[in-house]
A and B are shown apart, each in its own frame.
Chain A
Amino acid sequence: MPIILENVAHLYQPGSSYEVKALQEINLVIKEGEFVGLIGHTGSGKSTLVQHLNGLLKPTKGKVIVDDCQISAKKVNLKEIRKKVGLVFQYPEHQLFEETVFEDIAFGPKNLGLPPEQIEKRVKKALEMVHLDYEKYQAASPFLLSGGEKRRVAIAGVLAMEPKYLILDEPTAGLDPRGRDEILEQIKELHQQGMTVVLVSHSMDDVARLTQRLVVMHRNTIVFDEETRKVFSHYESLQEMGLDIPTVTKLMFRLKGKGWLVRQDVLTVEEAKKEILQVLKEARNHA
């Protein structure tokens, strides 16, 4: 069953002179098993939107429905929803609060009422998934870790809940390049095992590589919701919105401008290589 947002609007401090319209007319369906990317420049409403998916924020207008349960309704058991929908916040330091890394990651599983052996197992597995050594880190204080280590612990805390829907708001900010790849690989694997994933990201290279469908937000509403490859063909509109396209896609646009007969909907280094070799081969055959 899907997550459905129906005509959702969100106002911060409604009615006051500080009122901010953060979302308007959001219609979105996230089907089970999808891997959806969400992009848009700062302030376009991405973080506000994803916080509606687990009931952290309630819509000012419209409905949010998770697996048939309207979570925007008054008397809804949000605890049940949070079990299903795991959210990794944009600022992980806000998500850490326990004395040790172990306690921090165990917090969610404990709330699920799991027995201690199960909890330990989950903590170990989650730390492994984010590539932190259990023995080295389990007793450490999360507040004294380096930026990238904190980020990993925050992600592990959500993974340990084994949610059905995994929502990640800029999960790779501050990770070293290999760490970024490792964690994204891990998320890809979880998706292949059946988890539904929503990834908010500023990295066009990452969303290009991972997602099948891409949602683009601009001025607090959705402007594109299409197959990822198609979205990046709107190069000019994206640039006007202050967004970029993947580096290799940009190269293809530039080569096309130089008269090369290349496809422009190329998303990865591997695809770009194929295109370039193909064109060079044809040129050689003509000569």
Chain B
Amino acid sequence: MIDVKNLKHQFRNPQGGYQEALKGVDLQIGQGEFVAIIGHNGSGKSTLAKHFNALLLPHHGSVTVNGIDTRESECLWQIRQKVGMVFQNPDNQLIATTVEEDVAFGPENLGIEPVKIRQLVDEALESVGMSTYKKRAPHLLSGGQKQRVAIAGVVAMRPQVLVLDEPTAMLDPLGRQEVMDTVVKLNREEGLTVVLITHFMEEAVLADRVVVMAEGLKVMEDSPRGIFSRVQQLKDLRLDVPPMMELRDTLAREGLDLPRDILTVEEMVVALCR
């Protein structure tokens, strides 16, 4: 689906030199997968993600989407249609005066005929659970609802990959839950490939695979259980472990015999009540 080979990207810094934001990254993302990317601030996550739909182009190495090199400029719109992006701030992404107009914006830009657009918009709103809000004004929605409308705007373009760059950073717990439920559903039920960038470890746990970035390089890649059982290594990388994993670790140090990969409150209850 997405194939990243030895990708490097640098930005000019004010001293006149260059800052390498990506220093040679290899990554494969398969059809239907759910991949989470975590890593410290400035590690290159957003820079990497912007290469997936040709918002940035490689300075070295390559990125291909379904075999198409993102540098082929005549394929730009095809790539942008296949790989949709959702960003952090819910307020900067919605522009129209009603929810449905907002969702229709993408398909309209692709030059799709009006009848078909109607259908795409309805289906997209249905898939994020926002159908009843279609005539509402976007700015009056809650943060979680705004993000779901933003996701619908991408889904309406029938992409194959949904890339989300910290979609829940600005949301309250309820809004975060709504958005994550939607993302998981789109992946599991509609087979959409998902790439999720996040600083919330409990969200990364939901993925099939977790990629850890540090200083412009991919430094770990494994299942969530594999990644989060490496408590010390994660802490060294400025990352965190879910609270239950941390509690497991301190209890284990007191001599309690608990499974290594406890992630949730439920799993902890089961382990303690054996």
| A interface residues (Cβ-Cβ under 8 A, vs B) | 41-43, 90-91, 93, 100, 139-141, 144-149, 152, 170, 173-180, 202, 204-205, 242-244, 246-248, 250-251, 254-255, 258, 269-270, 272-273, 276-277, 280
Contact = CB atoms under 8 A, between A and B. Distances in A.
A230 B15 CA distance: 53
A139 B244 contact: no
Contact of A41 (B88, B169, B174): B174
Interface in B228-274: 235, 238-240, 242-244, 246-247, 250-251, 254, 256, 265-266, 268-269, 272-273
Contact of A174 (B142, B199, B265): B199
A139 B15 contact: yes
Contact of A202 (B11, B14, B173): B173
B195 to A, nearest CB: 16
B42 interface: yes
Nearest to B165: A147
A273 B247 contact: yes
Given A147-B46, A242-B173, A176 B265 contact: no
Nearest to B45: A146
How many B residues touch the partner, as a band?
35 or more
A251 B173 contact: no
Contacts of A280: 256
B144 interface: yes
Given A178-B40, A251-B247, A258 B13 contact: no
Nearest to A205: B243
Contact of B244 (A144, A152, A251): A251
A176 B269 contact: no
A140 B239 CA distance: 25
Nearest to A202: B172
A147 B88 contact: yes
Contacts of A258: 269, 273
Nearest to A40: B172
A147 B169 CA distance: 10
Contacts of A251: 244, 247, 265, 268-269
A175 B239 contact: no
B250 A273 contact: yes
B173 A146 contact: no
Interface string B8-21: 00010111000000
A254 B170 contact: no
Interface string B201-212: 100000000000
Given A139-B14, A144-B11, A202-B173, A177 B238 contact: yes
Contacts of A174: 41, 88, 166, 169, 199
A129 to B, nearest CB: 15
B117 interface: no
A150 to B, nearest CB: 9
B191 interface: no
Contacts of A276: 251, 272
